[in-house]
Structure 1
């Protein structure tokens, strides 16, 4: 049985919200939803793979519809298959997607390709009849661990949001089973942010840990000033202090902040990941890397990134991806990542877990759903299945 991709569909959806971080507001944010339609059938249903891009980058409809999808559809169908000829080969589909592309130029292109790549992997694991995390573990010769650490990301700036509302938000995450929570900093003065941090730490007490995220807002002097303030608190990590490509800032900051730091969500290739490790003075014994496959050319490229990290002595367990989506959950369970971000109340229906999955002691257990598991999340699958209709 051979498999063909017979259509690739995209729709741009709003995920707007009045929230803001230190750099952007989300009032006009969008996301691309993609369906890769195949001629394969499983259990009497046509196999359709789905994907979308993570929050923080806008929908990529133009690039997907006008540039990348046509290349896949124009390729010789046999050239997209695995060696057995019975399933799609994500690496070969990726190669067709990126044909006639020059090196470099990461950014919006990487988001478009990553969205398609997610849908391809969803289709491949559905055709194989297994959850993606099991497929990945088998391909890499490792044991899958369906129990995945997750943390609750929130603490955004919001019109009229006072310390009481911030404390209530963080307490709600603990009630839902999380034991690590994250809040935004850098969108107010250092003094105001210090008060916000102290309020949250008082609220969560010894029951949880707090991470803080500056979303790349700071110059070097401000990043250092915050480091001197933050190092007095027992934080889980200090995230993305400066511009993601300012490796000198990151390296210098390590001289002032002995605790864990995290960055990488806005680096979109294995080459950029390699430069971060080479020049950013990231510490493999304590720091975390947040590369998000949905923004960085997909899982095909993420596997290359993991190989780069391996050559520098980094364990996959130091990777906790940005984005809060089920694709990264599957990668974490299948390839031994350290966990995944989660947005309990934001960016729905794209974030979160399949229905019925609960957070227990800061972890979730992956359900045995073929593919990425989107069909197990009713609100998300309603939008996906609508896109796939003839």
Structure 2
């Protein structure tokens, strides 16, 4: 008898927070969570895997219940197998999930597939009894996963009644946790006010702009993006992120003439085709710019591997990737495939964000736990939530 999936369950969890960026508030934000149970036994218990989507995109209950999960449940066990390794095959499962779906339209369904894909890779690595980062390094990397990865603290949201002292206090807290680099939001206030906020954080960082990134969350038209570019240039920032609409490649390309420093984008592109078009038409520069594609939002790791192939074909190194999302799945991918690091959201979007409970951030680096799978079991609050949702 081939191994088989016994159950696939989905649920919705809240990550609501009283914060906003330049475009949305998070007062009703939620995520989808998936649990996959197999008939494989380890230590007398079935091997299970978990997946969820990153913040910024809402739960995908309808697509999961009506299209994605029924296809997996109806598939013959042999359709989902990696016969060479006697394991599940995320690539085969990906084909099943996208069965009878037209190409293009990458958006909400890419998030739903990404949730399931994360759970599948968690299962696959647990069946092989390897940390996911090591499994990825052996299959698709140089054979050896990195022991740690660069992480930065993403915060600096617009909170009600939060002034410059409160912003500095927030960023000081991230530094005290061991982060060396921080990111803050812009575009939700006037240019003058945002510059005052940036300068307040730079004062805390000793004036070192390379330790601060800023994120406009796609808010600006070209004229505003250029005005901000001119104002930001003297600060020497780590990067200027997503100034315009994610699909306005002409805006991004034009802006490069006004901003010589690094720029970052990609978290709201959800396919390797969109990523390829970004590199073709948006004037992105492989020697300095940062790509933030999030595997949990963009059809999962199966599609992310295609995105990395598209990058290599365009002359880009995986080291230019620092995924959005702040979750352990992207951290494993970063360590296993040689990416440039990973985002982190200390203190918000709990318990999905952040890394192993017993591994502190050290000078902007975080070690990866040596446990099978993605490592969710190293986060007590997250496992408690999974049990509440499914048990």
Measured against the shorter chain, the TM-score band is over 0.9
Residue 85 of structure 1 and its aligned partner are, at CA, apart by: 6.0
Residue 86 of structure 1 and its aligned partner are, at CA, apart by: 1.5
User: Which segments of 5 or more consecutive residues in structure 1 lack a partner in the other structure?
Assistant: none
Give aligned pairs, total. Answer: 389
Aligned match of 1:182: 183
Q: Is the 8 A contact 1:48 1:388 kept in 2?
A: no
TM-score (norm 1): 0.98
Aligned match of 1:229: 231
2:352 counterpart SS class: coil
1:39 counterpart SS class: strand
Q: Is the 8 A contact 2:346 2:354 kept in 1?
A: yes
Residue 2 of structure 1 and its aligned partner are, at CA, apart by: 2.8
User: Which segments of 5 or more consecutive residues in structure 2 lack a partner in the other structure?
Assistant: none
Map 1:294-305 → 2, pairs under 5 A: 294-305=296-307
2:374 counterpart SS class: coil
Aligned match of 2:321: 319
- Provide, for residues 361-387 of structure 1, a one-character-per-residue CA deviation record: whole Å limited to 9, x for no partner: 100010101100001100001112333
TM-score (norm 2): 0.98
How much is the aligned-residue C-alpha RMSD, in angstroms? 1.0
Residue 146 of structure 1 and its aligned partner are, at CA, apart by: 1.9
CA distance in 2 between partners of 1:281 and 1:104 (Å)? 23
Structure 1 stretches (4+) deviating beyond 2 angstroms?
385-389
Residue 83 of structure 1 and its aligned partner are, at CA, apart by: 2.3
Residue 44 of structure 1 and its aligned partner are, at CA, apart by: 1.5
Residue 348 of structure 1 and its aligned partner are, at CA, apart by: 0.1
Aligned match of 2:277: 275
CA distance in 2 between partners of 1:84 and 1:366 (Å)? 28
2:115 counterpart SS class: helix
Aligned match of 2:382: 380
CA distance in 2 between partners of 1:97 and 1:187 (Å)? 38
- Provide, for residues 80-109 of structure 1, a one-character-per-residue CA deviation record: whole Å limited to 9, x for no partner: 101236210110011101110000011001
Q: Is the 8 A contact 1:292 1:328 kept in 2?
A: yes
Residue 39 of structure 1 and its aligned partner are, at CA, apart by: 1.1
Residue 155 of structure 1 and its aligned partner are, at CA, apart by: 0.1
Map 1:22-33 → 2, pairs under 5 A: 22-33=22-33
Work out which of the residue numbers 346, 351, 354 in structure 1 matches 2:353: 351
Q: Is the 8 A contact 1:35 1:387 kept in 2?
A: no
2:235 counterpart SS class: coil
